[in-house]
A and B are shown apart, each in its own frame.
Chain A
Amino acid sequence: MVRTGILFILLFAACENNIIQRAASDYFQYREGNWWQLASNQDTMMVEVEAVDTLLQIECFTVSFGGYPKYLLKKPNAISQYIKIIHNFGGEDYTVVEDFIKRIELPLVNGNAWQDSLVDSIFISGAWVKAKFYIIGSISGFESVGGYGDVYTIAIKNVEIVILPDTVITDTIDVIEAYAPDIGLVRFEDNDGVFDLIDYEVE
């Protein structure tokens, strides 16, 4: 009986399917002062959570990705990102789109895919300027990484389209991010390369 119990526990421990870890952990440690240092073969990147800011009367975190701020809002069902598309005409800036968009759907579940979009237009000097921003995201998998736990890999495609009377400007950015439970960002991949976590501090 004791042997059966021990065998059961060993089999259970060998399963490596940490469902409780994935269900109970916080993968997005957005608290002021938290930081992650990532490095590629050629460069390093610092991701820092800065002071809370208020945009559109909503409190959100300013997260600096290598000096470029992103304004992120963490809700139980999503990590949302503040998007503002400005069109300059005649030396003056006009805001075409301004809102929060769902960046990552929560909770993280393997295989989940989502998309969200913002569309708006503005009439400037006798012509319509239309802008669209959309995000297509998916969780491409998770793997158990020693020291980190079950790490989710998320692919995010950001597309910004500005339609002017005579032209269409499209800007696409593909990123792959990996998040570890109760740590946060451990891997980041974009056109500049692959960055892996080398140091971090989370509270």
Chain B
Amino acid sequence: MTGKSRNSMYSIIIRSGINRGSHFAGRNTSTISILYLLLRYTVTPILRCTDTPFLKRGLTSQSIHILLDMLFFLIALSVGFEGGYNIPAVGFKDLNSGVAFSLYINRHFRFADLCIGARTSYFSVENSAYSLYFYGLSIGLAKNSWLFSPVIEFGPEYARRKLGSSKESGYGFNYTLGLLINVHFEKLRFYPKFYYEGITDLKTHAGFVGAKLGVGYEF
């Protein structure tokens, strides 16, 4: 990494830190602010000494910066849970409705909320021996401060089909377009979410319409 790019990384961290401070101002998040300032003004300057033997042997300053940024992410976030129903809309003609769950962490950035999550959904058909599972990771954007917020998510998906003892599995790509209705109650956020969830293996596209009820908690 060149000195220029390293400096730009610092500036990104500093800028995001300022933004983080402004976002949580007035939200009784003094603990987070103190933790952030401690990390920002103690650990980060130490990491600038990239010639330290310890750093050379083990983690580089760059990887520690990434870890530190992840830590910043973890101490300034909200977590949430969603659950709901999916109904086949494109393809999957023989599937019944399925259930879907997801867990996520959410972090506010300058103009939107970035959401990283893991999700699973399960579908069945009239043949009770058959089951179709999806497991996925997703990254998404929404605007939690708005009452009505569009939401977009995408990420890789692992699909598993099972009929009796026979199984098939494979990977796909998932994307979600939808609408959230945010209701805030102190640190809690409740929202119904209506969406179209598409899934593709780049050969075939299929999708579901769904509704979930979510709850998030801002630390």
Contact = CB atoms under 8 A, between A and B. Distances in A.
Contacts, number: 93
B94 interface: yes
Contact of B94 (A13, A76, A111): A76
A78 interface: yes
Given A17-B201, A19-B161, A20-B204, A106 B170 contact: no
A187 interface: no
B168 A110 contact: yes
Chain B CB count within 10 A is highest, among A18, A78, A139, A149, for A18
Contacts of B51: none
B166 A26 contact: no
B28 to A, nearest CB: 36
Nearest to A78: B127
A202 interface: no
B168 A22 contact: yes
A107 B206 CA distance: 16
Contacts of A139: 166
Contacts of B93: 26
A109 B159 contact: no
Interface in A139-193: 139, 149, 181
The B interface is mostly helix, strand or loop, or mixed, namely strand
A18 B126 contact: no
A18 B166 contact: no
Contacts of A107: 94, 125, 127, 130, 161, 163
A20 B94 contact: no
B84 interface: no
B109 interface: no
A21 B204 contact: yes
A25 B205 CA distance: 10
A19 B168 contact: yes
B94 A106 contact: yes
A15 B127 CA distance: 29
Contacts of B161: 19, 22-23, 107, 109
B167 interface: yes
A74 B162 CA distance: 20
Interface in B146-162: 156, 159, 161-162
Contacts of A196: none
Contact of A24 (B91, B169, B202): B91
19 contacts: A17-B170, A18-B203, A19-B168, A19-B169, A21-B201, A23-B159, A23-B206, A24-B91, A24-B92, A24-B204, A25-B204, A26-B93, A76-B127, A77-B125, A109-B161, A109-B166, A109-B168, A110-B168, A149-B204
Interface of A: 12-13, 15, 17-26, 75-78, 105-107, 109-113, 139, 149, 181
Listed from nearest, the 5 A-B pairs whose CB atoms lie closest are A19-B170, A24-B91, A77-B127, A21-B204, A111-B166
Given A22-B161, A24-B206, A113-B166, 19 more contacts: A17-B171, A19-B169, A19-B171, A19-B201, A20-B199, A20-B204, A21-B203, A21-B204, A23-B206, A24-B92, A25-B91, A76-B125, A77-B126, A77-B130, A107-B125, A109-B166, A112-B164, A139-B166, A149-B203
